[in-house]
């Protein structure tokens, strides 16, 4: 039975507007613990700490080289690694479309998921609103939406729609805002009853494991850190991966996935005890720092991130991104929005 280790980086709960941590990443490694122990010894045998942590190793040039050598080696076997990376601000825009726009479209008999219209409209909002409405307006809109969905109160609802209704805007932005005004009339306070939330960790994990299922026909043992967000939502996760679920294919186009997803057993372990979890921590930290560097314009003064790019691990491995296409400028990454 294949064993997959999983770890996360950049998790900030229901706050998707954290300025210090704009990227959320999941890293997974398909490798037996015995092999992981050998890898740890071969590449990090001189590290005195019992537990490998990316935040510590990435600070010092000598240990950065250890990381780079490890990443170079894994890049030779990209089938062992998969990532899921989400740009949180973009995810918040997609949530706005999913929670506010989709129900109104459904009332009119329109399925915005069928031909990827949800993605197109999310991209339109993400790129257009900051330009025609101004960066401050865009940030304020997202902040108010996040507050409304997190609090689910009439006050937070009114606070969001005040921005849409109570100011004078140029014609260029009024067209987009008319959509939200219409939604207020059609859907109204029912928006607050949505089953959706802004905690993206479980949905990203499910998407990542669905990708593994496409490559692995055998039943999978999934091992994750006992301190991770997934551990706090174990009941929900167990329901999602229940092997007794009726077989069904869900989703659209490239975003299709099948149930059940083949996770036979999910184990919560202390990362201090397993080399596999420690190596996955390094992968999660590496891909997060790399994608953040890309999304912020690839600072040429950041020598370590330039060397991360040279490993090609985060370009040629199975990597799924939930972020606007031009946020990342790389020709070798596979873009597969969820």
The secondary structure of 96-132 as a DSSP string is: HIIIIIHHHHHHTT--TTTTTHHHHHHHHHHHHHHHH
**SS3 (DSSP) at 265:** strand
305 within 8 A of 321, measured Cβ to Cβ? no
- For the stretch 91-114, pLDDT in tens is 999 999 999 999 888 888 888 888
| Relative orientation angle of helices 135-151 and 88-96, to the nearest 10 degrees | 70
**Does residue 334 register a pLDDT over 60?**
no
Strand runs (DSSP E) across the chain, as ranges?
Answer: 3-9, 23-30, 81-87, 220-225, 248-250, 257-259, 263-269, 318-322
100 within 8 A of 121, measured Cβ to Cβ? no
pLDDT category at 326 given cuts 50, 70, 90 is very low
**Does residue 129 register a pLDDT over 50?**
yes
- For the stretch 268-277, pLDDT in tens is 999 999 999 9
Report the C-alpha gap between 317 and 333 in whole angstroms.
8
**Does residue 251 register a pLDDT over 70?**
no
| Domains of the chain by start residue, with CATH | 3-88+199-327 (3.30.420), 89-193 (no CATH)
Q: What is the pLDDT of residue 337?
A: 32
Arithmetic mean of pLDDT, 278-294: 96
pLDDT category at 253 given cuts 50, 70, 90 is low
pLDDT category at 75 given cuts 50, 70, 90 is very high
pLDDT category at 316 given cuts 50, 70, 90 is very low
Q: What is the mean pLDDT of the chain?
A: 87
Cα diameter, the chain: 64
Q: Which residues of 237-274 are buried (b: 16+ CB within 10 A; e: fewer)?
A: beebbeeeeeeeeeeeeeeebebbbbbeebeebebeeb
pLDDT category at 249 given cuts 50, 70, 90 is low
**Does residue 289 register a pLDDT over 50?**
yes
Report the C-alpha gap between 47 and 69 in whole angstroms.
14
Arithmetic mean of pLDDT, 189-202: 91
Report the C-alpha gap between 268 and 222 in whole angstroms.
9
pLDDT top residue among 103 and 229: 103
Q: What is the pLDDT of residue 238?
A: 82
Specify the DSSP class assigned to residue 323. Answer: S
Q: What is the pLDDT of residue 20?
A: 93
Which percentage of the chain shows pLDDT scores above 70? 90
Q: Give me the sign of the Cα torsion angle 132, 137, 143, 149.
A: negative
Q: What is the pLDDT of residue 21?
A: 95
User: In this structure, what token pair is assigned to residue 207?
Assistant: 């998407």
What count of residues does the chain have?
338
**Does residue 328 register a pLDDT over 90?**
no
pLDDT top residue among 174 and 330: 174
pLDDT top residue among 42 and 331: 42
Q: What is the pLDDT of residue 325?
A: 44
Q: Rounded to two decimals, what is the model's pTM?
A: 0.88
């Amino acid at each position: 039975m294949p064993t997959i280790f999983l770890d996360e980086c950049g998790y900030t709960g229901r706050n998707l507007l954290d300025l210090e941590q704009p990227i959320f990443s999941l890293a997974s490694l398909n490798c037996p613990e015995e092999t992981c122990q050998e890898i740890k010894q071969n590449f990090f045998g001189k590290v005195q700490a019992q537990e490998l942590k990316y935040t510590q190793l990435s600070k010092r040039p000598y240990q950065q080289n250890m990381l780079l050598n490890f990443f170079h080696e894994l890049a030779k076997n990209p089938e062992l690694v998969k990532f899921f990376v989400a740009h949180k601000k973009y995810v918040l825009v997609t949530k706005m479309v999913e929670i506010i726009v989709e129900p109104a479209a459904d009332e009119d008999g329109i399925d915005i998921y069928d031909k990827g219209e949800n993605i197109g409209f999310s991209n339109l909002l993400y790129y257009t609103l900051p330009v025609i409405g101004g960066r401050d307006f865009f940030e304020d809109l997202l902040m108010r939406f996040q507050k409304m969905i997190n609090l689910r109160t009439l006050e937070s609802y009114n606070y969001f729609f005040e921005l849409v209704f109570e100011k004078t805007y140029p014609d260029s932005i009024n067209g987009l805002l008319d959509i939200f005004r219409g939604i207020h009339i059609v859907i109204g306070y029912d928006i607050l009853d949505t089953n959706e939330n802004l905690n993206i960790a479980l949905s990203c994990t499910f998407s990542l494991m669905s990708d593994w299922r496409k490559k692995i026909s055998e039943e999978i043992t999934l091992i994750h850190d006992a301190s991770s967000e997934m551990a706090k939502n174990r009941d929900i996760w167990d329901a999602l991966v229940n092997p007794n679920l009726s077989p069904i294919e869900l989703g659209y186009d490239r975003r299709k996935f099948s149930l059940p997803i083949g996770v036979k057993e999910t184990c919560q372990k202390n990362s201090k005890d397993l080399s596999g979890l420690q190596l996955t921590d390094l992968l999660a930290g590496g891909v997060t720092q790399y994608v953040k560097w890309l999304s912020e314009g690839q600072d040429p003064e950041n020598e370590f991130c330039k060397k991360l790019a040279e490993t090609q691990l985060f370009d040629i491995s199975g990597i799924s991104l939930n972020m606007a296409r031009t946020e990342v400028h790389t020709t070798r990454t596979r873009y597969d929005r969820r």
